[in-house]
Structure 1
Amino acid sequence: MQRRLIASVLLGHYLSAFTALGIPLYLPRILGDLAPGLPGWAIGVLFVLPTLCTALAAPVWGRWADRNGCRLSLLRAHAGLFAGFLLAGLSPNLTVFVLALVIQGTFGGAMAASNAYLSTQLKGSGLSRALNWTQYSARLAMISGPILLGLLTSRGLGINLYSWLAWLPLLAFVLVLALPNDKPGHALDRKQKPPPGQLPADMARLLAVQFLFSFAMVVTFPYFMPYGEQLGIGNDTLIGVLYSLPHLVYLLALPWVHKHQGNVLLPGLALLAISNALQFWSVQAEPLFALRLLSGAGMLLSFVGLHRCLSQRSRQGSAGRLFGWFDSSGKWAGTAAGVTAALVTQTCGIASPFLVACLAAMAAMVMARPLMITSREIPA
């Protein structure tokens, strides 16, 4: 029964993640058809608009989930994505399309909602492994989505692609309907809850580590293609493979890392810092394959370590609120990383985001060190 529950949540999350993560790559082309002559900065704003809306809404939906149930919140997330994508596919003009993006970001948030629901059904190491698998489904969506949707856009599908994709989160909605409601025994006593708007110092530290780690990952994404070209890689396909290589490491190595009992957060952040530093100093393309594998190892270990810390603290705060803040911190980090990448590349060169990522990973290591001490005091 538990395996079927986890499988349903993960499949539903993959369907929604495939929908949300697969299409942004083709947003400039879609906007070119919908609103010809739209300035480049406006495309960038619309690119991050759903992420910004999710960052703002996630804590609110987290509190709502604690009052009304995490399963109901998960249904809301899939339904919100369905409504946003359906409206986007039917948009007659840019104004309606922007409204659809706002709905998508504000009422979506399937990652936080999936994790919060899982935390009401699982605990300890079981929850930690489930959180790793939700991240697995997100990585799988990030790789498969752009590839499969690229085949559809090459066949002439434009904005109406949103209408086709809308049925995937609707299918996820149907999958969640069959799942049991939250177990009230997992809800914290009100006396243990921190005051509204505040978090325990230990949890605030974990959110800071999550922010720095997410920032370190995302800041190198936007300008990876010109970075590869600067190293002399003239093949777009090869650059795409190198770009996605860390995600492939996560997909292939996660089952093996699950066998490790200790917390691997600090080693993961260290590998991430080292790999980014070496990519910053690289002047040739040959070492890049090995360095991207190293980045993938750092990303995998960091995620597994973060999820272990999070599962150990899930009983220190209500599930919806806890995972809402955790997801929100990652979304804010992604937004800040995009802005930072644009600024530093203009002033310090195309490779500079890798140095910024190295510094962010090192800062995360400093912030994470006390978590390793308290983690040993909290039973898994």
Structure 2
Amino acid sequence: MPRRLTASVLLGHYLSAFTALGVPLFLPRILADLGSAVPTWSIGALYVLPTLCTALAAPLWGRLADRHGCRLSLLRAHAGLAAGFLLAGFSPNLAVFALALVVQGTFGGAMAASNAYLATQLQGEGLSRALNLTQYSARLAMLSGPVLVGLLADAGLGIELYRYLAWLPLLAFALVLPLPADAPRPRRHPAGTPGATELPADLLRLLAVQFLFSFAMVVTFPYFMPYGEALGLNDDALIGLLYSLPHLVYLLALPWVQRLGGPLLPAGLVLLALGNLLQFLRLPAELLFALRLLAGLGMLLAFVGLHRCLAERRRAGGAGRLFGWFDASGKWAGTAAGLVAGLACQRYGVAMPFLIACLAALAALAVTYPLLTRSPETAP
């Protein structure tokens, strides 16, 4: 049953992630279907609106999941995403479309909900591997979603894309519905007491590593195309391949890397920092392929190590609250990284985000070492 349960949760997560990650790239074209002039600045605001709403809502959903069950929260996440996409697909104007994005972000959040539910069914190394696989499904959706949705857009579909894609999280809902419910976690502290909302210092440190690591990854995303062009690359397909290489490393190498022992998290952060530093130095374009592979290996090692730390600390608190805060820290990092990347490129050029990513990875490395004293990574 655990293997079938994990497969159902992961497939459901992929369907919802495909839905959420496939459309944003085509947002400018979709907004044109609303029939009114859309300010250029609003495209960026609408792009991050669901992420912001997820960051704000995830801790609340986590507490409710511990109180009422993580499976129920996972069903809510899939249904919330479907509702947001249906509303977007039938939006008559920009205001309703923005409301639909708020619904999508506020009531979605399949990553945190999937991880929390898996944490109620699995333990130790089994949970760590499952967390690696939810990231695997997210990376797979990040690569396949824009390509397949792009084919639909090329066929002439605009805002109605949202109506068709809404069926995918509904299918994910159907996959999760027959799975066993988890027992709600009893509250240890009365509402209003300090212990009801405080997180242990050890978990706060873990959230700080997650924030810095996520920031280091995302800050280089928005302006990678002009960075490649500045190196003399004029082939959009080649730039797209180089952009995707770190995610391809995760997809191809995860089965082997997760079998490794040792301190993977600090090793990954060191490689990520080195890869970004070398990209900041604008080495010849012929070396960019190797540098992207290096950064991808660092990302993979850091993810696997971080998930081991997270699985170990699952026993320190309710799964819903833990994964709610963990997901929220990543979403806040992504939002901040997008803003910082824009400001840095405007003032210092398109290579500056790579130096910022290097510094963020080194900061995460500095925060990491106390986490390893109780981590399975340090076990012989």
Task: State the TM-score, normalizing by the size of structure 1.
Answer: 0.96
Distance change (3 Å), C-alpha of 1:377 and 1:236? closer
Cα deviations across residues 148-179 of structure 1 (Å, max 9, x unaligned)? 11111011100000000000000000000010
- Which aligned pairs between 1:224-373 and structure 2 lie closer than 5 A? 224-373=224-373
Higher mean alpha-carbon deviation, 193-202 vs 307-316, is at 193-202
Cα deviations across residues 258-305 of structure 1 (Å, max 9, x unaligned)? 211334000000000000000000242111000010111011011101
Which residue of structure 2 lines up, in the alignment, with residue 190 of structure 1? 188
The CA distance in 2 between the partners of 1:133 and 1:53, in whole Å, is: 25
Distance change (3 Å), C-alpha of 1:376 and 1:129? closer
Cα deviations across residues 213-269 of structure 1 (Å, max 9, x unaligned)? 000000000000000000011011111010011000000000001211334000000
The CA distance in 2 between the partners of 1:215 and 1:58, in whole Å, is: 18
- Which aligned pairs between 1:79-94 and structure 2 lie closer than 5 A? 79-94=79-94
| CA deviation after TM superposition for structure 1 residue 197, in Å | 2.6
Which residue of structure 1 lines up, in the alignment, with residue 48 of structure 2? 48
2:222 and 2:338 in contact (8 A); partners too: yes
1:194 and 1:200 in contact (8 A); partners too: no
| CA deviation after TM superposition for structure 1 residue 188, in Å | 7.0
1:232 and 1:284 in contact (8 A); partners too: no
The CA distance in 2 between the partners of 1:320 and 1:149, in whole Å, is: 32
Q: Which runs of 5+ in 2 are unaligned?
A: none
The CA distance in 1 between the partners of 2:233 and 2:65, in whole Å, is: 48
Higher mean alpha-carbon deviation, 218-227 vs 262-271, is at 262-271
Helix, strand or coil at the partner of 1:287: helix
Task: State the TM-score, normalizing by the size of structure 2.
Answer: 0.96
Whichever residue aligns with residue 66 of structure 1, its letter is: D
Which residue of structure 1 lines up, in the alignment, with residue 64 of structure 2? 64
| CA deviation after TM superposition for structure 1 residue 63, in Å | 0.4
Whichever residue aligns with residue 340 of structure 1, its letter is: V
Whichever residue aligns with residue 134 of structure 2, its letter is: T
1:188 and 1:315 in contact (8 A); partners too: no
1:188 and 1:318 in contact (8 A); partners too: no
Which residue of structure 1 lines up, in the alignment, with residue 148 of structure 2? 148
1:312 and 1:379 in contact (8 A); partners too: no
| CA deviation after TM superposition for structure 1 residue 40, in Å | 1.5
The CA distance in 2 between the partners of 1:359 and 1:132, in whole Å, is: 25
Helix, strand or coil at the partner of 1:172: helix
1:267 and 1:301 in contact (8 A); partners too: yes
Distance change (3 Å), C-alpha of 1:56 and 1:86? same
Which residue of structure 1 lines up, in the alignment, with residue 172 of structure 2? 172
Which residue of structure 2 lines up, in the alignment, with residue 126 of structure 1? 126
Which residue of structure 2 lines up, in the alignment, with residue 78 of structure 1? 78
CA RMSD of aligned residues (A): 1.8
Q: Which runs of 5+ in 1 are unaligned?
A: none
The CA distance in 2 between the partners of 1:264 and 1:283, in whole Å, is: 27
The CA distance in 2 between the partners of 1:378 and 1:287, in whole Å, is: 34
1:85 and 1:162 in contact (8 A); partners too: yes
| CA deviation after TM superposition for structure 1 residue 116, in Å | 0.1
1:82 and 1:169 in contact (8 A); partners too: yes
The CA distance in 2 between the partners of 1:96 and 1:86, in whole Å, is: 11
The CA distance in 1 between the partners of 2:75 and 2:164, in whole Å, is: 20
The CA distance in 1 between the partners of 2:197 and 2:101, in whole Å, is: 27
The CA distance in 2 between the partners of 1:225 and 1:28, in whole Å, is: 17
Whichever residue aligns with residue 172 of structure 2, its letter is: A
1:263 and 1:308 in contact (8 A); partners too: no
| CA deviation after TM superposition for structure 1 residue 95, in Å | 1.0
The CA distance in 2 between the partners of 1:378 and 1:301, in whole Å, is: 15
1:12 and 1:173 in contact (8 A); partners too: yes
| CA deviation after TM superposition for structure 1 residue 34, in Å | 1.7
The CA distance in 1 between the partners of 2:126 and 2:289, in whole Å, is: 34
Q: How many aligned residue pairs are there?
A: 378
Instruction: Calculate percent identity across the aligned residue pairs.
Output: 72
Which residue of structure 1 lines up, in the alignment, with residue 29 of structure 2? 29
The CA distance in 2 between the partners of 1:361 and 1:330, in whole Å, is: 14
Whichever residue aligns with residue 226 of structure 1, its letter is: P
Higher mean alpha-carbon deviation, 17-26 vs 257-266, is at 257-266
2:246 and 2:295 in contact (8 A); partners too: yes
